Amino acid sequence: MLGERVWLNRDVVPVPAHHRTAPNVLSAVGGIGVLFVAWGVVALEAWPTLFGAALVYAGKLWFLDRMVWLWHDTRDATEEDRPGTSIPPG
């Protein structure tokens, strides 16, 4: 995903302020979901496993949505503004 490339390059080229918090929060949501999945598998319980899987999927899908939004907000930058990438603008 092109937005993920922009996100990974954020130390070199800063991302807009409204894109800085959500990806980290959504990654944490997915991590919490993994804990529920692990608990459910170890305890052989269906509800924590399914709840955790739902958190993982929801967090990842929302993260991907944010990456598309990030790409759309930054795709008009020139190649010089994105060192280390070979992504053409637009």
Q: What pLDDT score was predicted for residue 78? A: 47
As a whole number of angstroms, the distance between CA 58 and CA 8 comes to 21
By the 8 A CB rule, do 39 and 13 touch?
Answer: no
pTM: 0.78
pLDDT in tens, 40-82: 999 999 999 999 999 999 999 999 999 999 999 988 774 555 5
Instruction: Give start and end residues of each alpha helix (H) in 44-77.
Output: 46-74
More confident residue, 28 or 89: 28
Q: What pLDDT score was predicted for residue 85? A: 54
Q: Which two tokens stand for residue 44?
A: 């052989």
- Indicate the domain borders of the chain: 22-80
By the 8 A CB rule, do 33 and 59 touch?
Answer: yes
